[in-house]
Amino acid sequence: MYNAIKKKVYILLHPEIGATKWEKIINIFIITLILLNIIAVMLETVNSIHEPYKQFFRDFDTVSVIIFSIEYILRVWSSNADPKYKHSINGRLRYMVSVNALIDLMAILPWYLQSIVGFDLRVLRILRLLRFFRLFRLTAYTKSVKMVVHVFKSTFNELLLSLGLAVFLIIISSSVIYFAEHGAQPKVFTSIPQTIWWSVTTLTTVGYGDMIPKTVIGKILTSIILLAGVALLALPAGIITAGFLEEIRRAKNGSHIHNGSHVCPHCGMPLEEVEQEKHTS
């Protein structure tokens, strides 16, 4: 009975594996509450709105924190329904230090620090910024955001390679422009580290105009660097696009498995995980 309730709570808090209307209702409720909290945080910075409704904002924040705290406790309690966190104590501790659990904690932490511990106004303003972590909690409730996260994870090595190429190109372009322009503009292109700013704004095609090459060789090199900057921006964009296309293809191919016989009809968990749980127990 205990394990069945825990499994049910786990599924209710993970709508992507559930198949009933209750998971959807909870999903919509939590997403709505998170969005309302973000709107409230922004409106609090408008004095003409915050001052007349100061008590409303305070009460709304308190109610929200209570709901988020209950959800956090239930998530920790039911986390060992997941085979990854199976152990009663160590499993829950491992879940508590996971990224999603830390985001949940950071979303409610400022309220407790303000109400219980107490800080001066300057520290409190910094802590209130942590309330924006509630926005990141949407990753636990929206499949689209999860897809974005998965795409970046799957293309991490390729994106890291493109970042390395970008750094290499920035250093090379900064060096050649420095030697081309330093003699003509010693007060503008004072050093290679100073020229890195010009290189970054040029490669990203922003070009603030505070550092402009004036020599012929400098203009020629700048033209080449501008073209390289276009290619540089296109590289990670292409990698991410390919990752999205692959992820969408997998999602379409996997939708049949998720809604078909490959998912346990009782708990909503993939049969592979159910079988693994049986073997380890």
CATH number of 2-141: 1.20.120.350
For the segment 9-23, the average pLDDT, to the nearest whole number, is: 76
Structural domain boundaries in the chain: 2-141, 156-257
Are the CB atoms for 262 and 270 separated by under 8 Å? yes
pLDDT score, position 198: 87
156-257, CATH topology level: Helix Hairpins (1.10.287)
pLDDT digits 0-9 by tens, 205-234: 777 777 888 899 989 998 888 888 888 878
pLDDT score, position 265: 44
Quickly state the pLDDT bin for 249 (edges 50, 70, 90): confident
H helix intervals, 97-211: 99-112, 121-128, 133-136, 143-154, 156-181, 192-203
pLDDT score, position 261: 39
Tokens of 137: 């909690």
Tell me the C-alpha distance between 161 and 136, whole Å.
Answer: 27
pLDDT score, position 216: 92
Q: Which of 128-137, 164-173, 272-281 has the highest mean pLDDT?
A: 164-173
Residue 255 to residues 204, 263, 274, Cα–Cα distance (Å): 39, 11, 19
Quickly state the pLDDT bin for 82 (edges 50, 70, 90): confident
pLDDT score, position 73: 92
